[in-house]
Amino acid sequence: MITIFMADAINIDIDDQADRRFLIMEKNYDVIIVGAGPGGIFCAYELKEKRPDMKILLIEKGRSIEKRQCPKRVTGVCAHCQPCSITTGFAGAGAFSDGKLSLSPDVGGTLPDILGYDEATKLIHESDEIYLKFGADKSVYGVDKAAEIREIRRKAINANLKLVECPIRHLGTEEGYKIYGLLQKHLEEVGVDLLFNSPVASLGIENGQVTSVTTEKGETFCSDRVVIAVGRDGADWFKDLCHEVGIETKPGTVDVGVRVEVRDEVMQFLNENLYEAKLIYHTPTFDDKVRTFCTNPSGEVATEYYDNNLAVVNGHAYKAQEYKTNNTNFALLVSKNFTKPFNTPIEYGKQIAQLSNMLCGGKILVQTYGDFKRGRRTTDERLCRNNLIPTLKDAVPGDLSLVFPHRIMVDLDEMIQALDKVTPGIASEETLMYGVEVKFYSNKVIVDKNFETSIKGLHAIGDGAGVTRGLQQASANGISVARSILAAKEGN
């Protein structure tokens, strides 16, 4: 039997009780999955593929995919929906992302460290086949342009940049939404119980063994196998849960930086031959790691809202020609690792983002590279005469030096200068820099090769656990943990 609970799509602070379809629901499950992002989806998919008789509950704090609608896309004004439909709901932040699938274990997480390189490669291939089954574009970027990629690598080496070769399958924002919609329909049809608009409040644990999950509405569901598959939006919640129940963790990396926007012409050679050029730089002044991330050719810069209306910047790109722009955007992320006694890297990233929000009235700050170099605030007047037109229309002109520590400012400047040697024009005075972009996957949960935590029967996967950093490895991670659970249950 299919059981689905849903809430209205975009109402703020709604009481979803009136809209819930109360059907008879199981209280005991073989597996409970918390979080309906790619990791949770592919875990449920694999469990049902191998054991159709299994009783599986997938709990999600956001909405079903057909009810995930952002009013800002129509009105141009954020309605501060609770929870935000851009970052939560079925498919997680991936539903409205650019939808890039990185088809190499070298990109997107630490699966090779946990499972081994060959096994991670195999799982990525298997998860890719599932995306293709549900309608993903068969085209792959970065596999048939050997001469062009060789030229890009040569320029990168001359600039002391490392080019990470990674084939890319591009779903596109609108096509990715459709694919995840079909995956939701499939899970419903094979009998996965889906519980939406239901944040998890606590876990039941007895003698070191997980026993149950309780939602904020007071509903308790029992299982001896629970998979925590929350994404970046749930990383802070999971960190607190780990502290509360004694799950072993260690401080991870926090990525903080900006989203850069240039004209398509500046990035044309990279876009046409790699779609997303993954470049890594160790800065000469501080020897910090800076990397490019999430390139969106002909895309648009966007705002994401996390808990407490924290606004951070991101980017999207559509497949359909009518949605394309004249600009390319990509992230520059500075990776920061911390040592004792500091153990709250997520809070560090949030504090920087909150400072930017404070200066911009809860919106995203934008500055031209010319003003960035001079240490002066970008004004409305200077932004209006810029030839490069911002795609994020409500971004507020400002000064990133009032937000970032000096060290990060220097890292970003040196990275932009290095990139300019690979694709001239990046360091143009008119280049736009939006802040702040933060990736909240810093809570690194200690897991074994089965992704089981220090609590027996409790598994942790995906971005929120610090295991992955993208759609493809998160999806592969879901398949892997499903097989671990199946093997354990067969062993019992």
Residues 235 and 370 in one domain: no
The answer to whether residue 140 is domain-embedded is no
* 35 plus 22 within the same structural domain: yes
Instruction: Tell me, yes or no, whether 198 and 336 share the same domain.
Output: no
HEC string of the chain equals CCCEECCCCCCCCCCHHHHCCCCCCCCECCEEEECCCHHHHHHHHHHHHHCCCCCEEEECCCCCHHHCCCCHHHHCCCCCCCCCCCCCCCCHHHHHCCCEEECCCCCCECHHHHHCHHHHHHHHHHHHHHHHHCCCCCCCECCCCHHHHHHHHHHHHHCCEEEECCCEEECCHHHHHHHHHHHHHHHHHCCCEEECCCCEEEEEEECCEEEEEEECCCCEEECCCEEECCCHHHHHHHHHHHHHHCCCEEECEEEEEEEEEEEHHHHHHHHHHHCCCEEEEECCCCCCEEEEEEEECCCEEEEEEEHHHEEEEEEECCCCHHHCCCEEEEEEEEEEECCCCCCCHHHHHHHHHHHHHHHCCCCCEEEEHHHHHHCCCCCHHHHHCCCCCCCCCCCEECCHHHCCCHHHHHHHHHHHHHHHHHCCCCCCCCCEEEEEEEECCCEEECCCCCCECCCECEEECCHHHCCECCHHHHHHHHHHHHHHHHHHHHHC
129 within domain boundaries: yes
More confident residue, 141 or 1: 141
Q: What is the pLDDT of residues 353-391, one digit of tens each?
A: 999 999 999 999 999 999 999 999 999 999 999 999 999
Average pLDDT over residues 217-226: 96
In this predicted structure, the answer to whether residue 78 has a pLDDT above a threshold of 80 is: no
> Are 181 and 269 members of one domain?
no
pTM above 0.85, yes or no: no
Report if residue 139 sits inside a domain. no
Q: Output the average pLDDT for the chain.
A: 89
- Residue 141 maps to a domain: no
Q: What confidence category does residue 7 fall into, taking pLDDT thresholds of 50, 70 and 90?
A: very low
Task: Based on the fold, state whether residues 150 and 117 are members of the same structural domain.
Answer: no
Say whether both 42 and 125 belong to one domain: yes
- pLDDT recorded at residue 196: 95
CATH of the domain at 202: 3.50.50.60
Q: In terms of domains, do 191 and 98 share one?
A: yes
| Minimum mean pLDDT range among 1-15, 98-112, 350-364 | 1-15
Same structural domain, 267 and 126: no
User: How many structural domains compose the chain?
Assistant: 2
Say if residue 191 is in the same domain as residue 332.
no
- Asked which of 439, 464, 482 is the last residue of a domain, the reply is 439
Q: Within this chain, do residues 207 and 290 fall inside the same structural domain, yes or no?
A: no
Q: Is residue 239 part of a domain?
A: yes
* Lowest-confidence segment of 77-81, 442-446, 481-485 by average pLDDT: 77-81
Stretch among 226-240, 274-288, 413-427 having the lowest mean pLDDT: 226-240
Percent of the chain with pLDDT over 70: 93
Domain end (from 423, 439, 455): 439
The model's pLDDT over 83-105, given as tens digits with 9 standing for 90+, comes to: 877 778 999 877 777 788 999 99
Domain that holds residue 362: 146-167+253-439
pLDDT average, residue stretch 127-152 = 93
What percent of the chain is modeled with pLDDT above 90?
71
- Looking at residue 113, its pLDDT comes to 95
Residue 296 belongs to a domain: yes
Mean pLDDT over 35-58 rounds to 97
Q: Report pLDDT digits (tens) over 247-300.
A: 988 877 789 999 999 999 999 999 999 989 999 999 999 999 999 999 999 999
Q: Is the domain of 180 the same as that of 302?
A: no
Answer yes or no: do 355 and 308 share one domain. yes
Higher pLDDT, 423 or 171: 423
What is the per-residue pLDDT for 442?
59
Over residues 14-29, the pLDDT tens digits come to 344 433 433 446 799 9
pLDDT at 3: 36
